[in-house]
A and B are shown apart, each in its own frame.
Chain A
Amino acid sequence: MSPYDLLPRFKAQYDANNQEFSISGVVRPQAIDELGPSIALLRDAIGHVRGVLYVNVRRLTQMNNAAFHSFSRIIIDACRARPDLKFVVITSSVVGWTSRKFGRLSAIEPNITVEEYDTEFYPGQGFLEEGGFVPILRTQTKLTWRHERAILPRHGMRSGIVMADICCGIGDFAVLAQKEFQPSRIVALDHSISSLNYARRVMREFDIRGIEYTYGDASEMLLDEAQFDLVTCRHSLQIFNRPELILKELYRICKPGGRVYITNEKNSHCLGEPRAESIRWTYNEVAKLFGHFEMDVELGPKSRRYLIEAGFEDIRVETFMVTNLDGDPQDFADVIAAWADVYAGEMATRRGDGPEFVARFRQGFEDHIFAALHPKGYTGWPIWVASGRRPQ
């Protein structure tokens, strides 16, 4: 028996509380008999639900036509036998074929609807994925790279490794890592199509090789398990409402003995002189604002706990402070200006903040910029770096 035979190929389960039948993995049976228990589970679920049955195929990597027909027939027959029952099939835009294939079912039975799930999974991420945040990310990477290029080798970065950069954004970190450390292969994944298009354009224009940009959901990636020596995920756990799900996936794709490297902030610790009080107040409010959208930009110091709880060993944690003295102070000021645009702009508006609050909130950013550009000023933005080794 090969290791292949030992791997569970698919899993079906029913969650009665949520009236959700889910099936995941690779479902390619030769005969329908192989699906017996899963089909029985679906039939049983249909027999017990009232109103809506959710059919979750978000993590269904593959399903052959034989299996698709079999499951579809049960759902279609149930629609005909019980017109009171509705089915909502939840697909993922990440798994390309599922929306196309399952989408056909709604043309057969109007009581079947098909929804792509990903965008609603991360309540606040819309602010950060499309549009306004791209300039922030570019300048941020420029500032943090000065530090990280020295830090990364202490966390498993070296030439020739196979690495993944999850939540790669516009891909600038992957490009810098490629140039500096020459890993043999980089897979860079993100959930923003516009960011990936930008990254691919940069790669084409500058004839960069060795980076594969891929669209994906960090909490359920199509990437195979145990294939990367180093998995990086920067400034991202803090903007997911369930970071433990992402860490589970980072662990899964990391080779045993390889490392997962994460960076996160503690926004309330951003500082500046002069005008320290105003700056402190505003960054405390930043943390609360993100909290409102279920994002924890105070996550930095919690990194060690998250890594331990995800099963990593040999945890290494360090911090660095990006300051206005790192190169051109204008770069630091530009980052703050970009933060102000999004935080005191769209995010505050979306939360329903009044003009008085927004004015004070914005003032703190302006004071931070003032401090950054002041000839005697000092401003800081602290970052927590942490990595853990996947046990052998």
Chain B
Amino acid sequence: MGPVHHDLAGEPIFEPMIQIDMEIKAFVSAWKHCDYVSTYVARMISQNRSDSVHHSNLFSSAFNELLEVAFRTRHADGELACRVSRHGATDRIELTFPCVPEERQFYEEAVSQFAGMEARERYLNSVSGDLAPSREVVLLELAVDYNATLWIDDADGDAIKLVVDLPLEGLQH
């Protein structure tokens, strides 16, 4: 693991690792793009982790869920941007994709409720009760199973930026 840096305000500086941009139309043209992109990016960014194969497997698992969320956007135009950066043991995924205002509101509300034991209970209730996971539960699972921190950042136009910090290095064996 390389040295970690902080800016003058003491905020950690995340060093960029990789970015993939594509038209959302192209992305949603095939479901397997989620698998392609998550597997490719996971391999690329995991090479210098202490256990590259395991890091890649965990990262791909988490990132694929985010991409599947983006895949289901109801907004048909615009760009999908996946940016991965790193600060020490944490990898940050910034996923920007077009969405309609209702979806944006949904994500903001969903992400604001992810905290502590309650999140775990809500996740377990969904697994035991729902026929299929909602997009909220998919995001919730990242917090519960991967210790992820999620929030929404500003994005231009009809887009939303989901930011997810994944401390996967700490989940290694």
A residues with a Cβ closer than 8 A to B are: 4-5, 26, 28, 30, 32, 61-62, 64-66, 68-70, 72-73, 76, 93-97, 100-101, 104-105, 107-109, 187, 189, 193, 196, 200, 212-216, 221-223
B interface, by DSSP: helix, strand, loop or mixed? helix
The one of B31, B123, B138, B144 that contacts A30, using a Cβ cutoff of 8 Å:
B31
Q: Which residues of A contact B138 (CB under 8 A)?
A: 65
Q: Which residues of A contact B53 (CB under 8 A)?
A: 187, 189, 212, 214-216, 221-223
Q: Which residues of B contact A72 (CB under 8 A)?
A: 127-128
By beta carbon, the residue of chain B nearest A209 is: B48
Cα(A212)–Cα(B43), bound, Å: 13
Cα(A95)–Cα(B172), bound, Å: 10
Decide if B64 is an interface residue (CB 8 Å cutoff). yes
Interface size class for chain B? Answer: 35 or more
The one of A30, A97, A221 that contacts B61, using a Cβ cutoff of 8 Å:
A97
By beta carbon, the residue of chain B nearest A185 is: B47
Decide if B57 is an interface residue (CB 8 Å cutoff). yes
Q: Which residues of A contact B68 (CB under 8 A)?
A: 28, 64-66
**Do residues A95 and B145 form an inter-chain contact, with CB atoms below 8 A?**
no
Among listed B96-104, B107-115, B129-137, B157-165, interface-contacting one: B129-137
Cα(A26)–Cα(B52), bound, Å: 19
**Do residues B34 and A28 form an inter-chain contact, with CB atoms below 8 A?**
yes
**Do residues B132 and A213 form an inter-chain contact, with CB atoms below 8 A?**
no
Between A65, A97, A187, the greatest number of chain B beta carbons within 10 A of the residue's beta carbon is seen for A65
Q: How many A-B residue pairs have CB under 8 A?
A: 102
Cα(A23)–Cα(B36), bound, Å: 21
Q: List 16 A-B contacts (CB under 8 A).
A: A5-B32, A30-B31, A62-B60, A64-B64, A68-B127, A68-B133, A69-B130, A70-B132, A94-B54, A97-B61, A104-B123, A104-B127, A104-B144, A108-B127, A214-B54, A215-B172
Given the known inter-chain contacts A28-B34, A101-B145, A222-B57, please indicate yes or no for A65 contacting B137, CB distance below 8 A. yes
By beta carbon, the residue of chain A nearest B121 is: A107
**Do residues A212 and B47 form an inter-chain contact, with CB atoms below 8 A?**
yes
**Do residues A200 and B50 form an inter-chain contact, with CB atoms below 8 A?**
yes
B57-69 Cβ-contact flags toward A at 8 Å (1 or 0): 1101100110010
